[in-house]
Amino acid sequence: MKKNKTIFMGLERKNNSLPLSNYIVVPIPFERSVSYGHGTAFGPKAVLEASAQVELWDEETKTETWKENIFTTAAVNCKGTTRIVFNRITKTVKDVMRYKGIPFYIGGEHSITQALLEPYIEKYKKLSVLHFDAHADLRAKFEGNPHSHACALYPASKQVPVVQVGIRSVGDTECENINSGKVKTFLMHENRDIKKLIPQVLKNLTDTVYITIDVDGFDPSVIPATGTPQPGGFGWYEALDLFREVINKKNIVAIDVVEACRRDEDTITEMNTAKLIYRLMGYLSQKKK
């Protein structure tokens, strides 16, 4: 079978369409405020290309989720000022929300979550956010910029409950924002027993959940190519245990997966990110059965 490298999993069903799809993949190759390593702009393309190498039958969920229709939209145009691009992202979200499919937004740097979350916060009065990340991302501004990747969750944290996991890097200007107000932060070093962590995460989330996954929440041995890596993150199976439980117990409105970079040394990051996204789709599909 000839695979199409511009769509998720490299193929789609005959007569696939946006209204018919159970999953909607939206590439957002935005990169503007990166402070250290570069390459998130190439992330979505690399993840789509790698997804064509992921097996269509998933060995854990025992599903062939692609058959439920996965629609990949054109990439969001990320040219222009941050304000212009964020407006475009929010408009795209509003378009996508008209359909039944669960959206997977693929970044791009984490700042896009600010624009992605706005329409969900507006629509769902009891929304909460599961924030998987190495970094707290709760600075009001970073290097003078309120739309930096280091501020990704700050606006949302003033409006809805944000539950943070994987956190192992907190700046001196944001340390007062963790475990304060609407933010519940599970620092990685204090929460290494995943079996104990999961029920606490579930307890702190509302029933309606938006999941934002910065892939640097994983240990760098799982996801090596990220802009600002940190040691000691989630293992593959630990993270899957958490995501499976949250998906099974909560109503998931959308998922974003951000900060995957492309580098020349290897293809581990894009491959594992693609597999993660397909696995999460599998959990969502299993739940419906």
Under the binding rule (CB under 5 A), the answer on residue 174 touching Mn ion is no
256 is in an annotated binding site: no
Would you say 29 or 107 has its CB closer to Mn ion? 107
Q: Considering the rule CB under 5 A, would residue 133 count as an interface residue with Mn ion?
A: yes
**C-beta closer to Mn ion: residue 73 or 113:** 113
Q: Least separation, in Å, of the C-beta of 102 and Mn ion?
A: 23
Residues 61-80 that bind Mn ion (CB under 5 A): none
In this chain, which of 31, 174, 214, 238 binds Mn ion, going by CB under 5 A? 214
DSSP letter string, 239-272: HHHHHHHHHHHSEEEEEEEE-----SS-SHHHHH
**Per rule CB under 5 A, is residue 12 in the interface with Mn ion?**
no
Q: In terms of CB distance, is 127 or 136 closer to Mn ion?
A: 136
The answer to whether 107 and 259 are in contact (CB under 8 A) is yes
Among positions 58, 216, 238, 270, the unique one binding Mn ion when judged by CB under 5 A = 216
User: In the complex, what is the shortest distance from the CB of residue 55 to Mn ion, in angstroms, rounded to a whole number?
Assistant: 29
Q: Is 137 annotated as a binding residue?
A: yes
Query: Taking the complex as a whole, how short is the minimal distance between the CB of residue 258 and Mn ion, in angstroms?
Result: 8
Contacts of 153 (CB under 8 A, 6+ apart): 113, 129, 131, 136, 137, 138, 162, 164, 212
Q: Longest C-alpha distance within the chain, in Å?
A: 54
User: Distance from CA of residue 212 to its chain's centroid?
Assistant: 4
Give pairs for 149-152: CB < 8 Å, separation 24+: 149/33, 149/34, 149/35, 149/109, 149/110, 149/111, 149/227, 149/259, 150/33, 150/35, 150/174, 151/111, 151/114, 152/110, 152/111, 152/113, 152/114, 152/212, 152/214
| Beta carbon of residue 6, minimum distance to Mn ion (angstroms, whole number) | 27
Q: Considering beta carbons, is residue 168 or 250 the nearer one to Mn ion?
A: 168
Considering only the stretches 43-51, 181-189, 191-199, 207-215, report the one whose residues sit in contact with Mn ion under the rule CB under 5 A.
Answer: 207-215
Q: Where are the alpha helices (DSSP H) in the chain?
A: 43-51, 82-96, 112-123, 154-157, 194-204, 236-249, 268-288
Residues in contact with Mn ion, counted by CB under 5 A, come to a total of: 5
Instruction: Note whether 131 binds Mn ion by CB under 5 A.
Output: no
Complex with Mn ion: residue 214 or 238, whichever CB lies closer: 214
3-state secondary structure of 116: helix
Residue 68 neighbours by CB under 8 Å, 6+ apart = 21, 22, 23, 285
CB 114: neighbour CB atoms within 10 A?
23
Query: Which window, 17-25, 53-61, 129-137, 182-190, contacts Mn ion (CB under 5 A)?
Result: 129-137
**C-beta of 134 vs 209, nearer to Mn ion:** 134
Query: Binding site annotation covers 216?
Result: yes
Which residue lies nearer to Mn ion by CB, 54 or 260? Answer: 260
Instruction: Tell me if 242 sits within 8 A of 201, measured CB to CB.
Output: yes
The answer to the question of residue 135 lying near Mn ion (CB under 5 A) is yes
Residue 256 contacts Mn ion per CB under 5 A: no
**Contact positions vs Mn ion (CB under 5 A):** 133-135, 214, 216
- Binding-site residues for Mn(2+), in ranges, read 110, 133, 135, 137, 214, 216
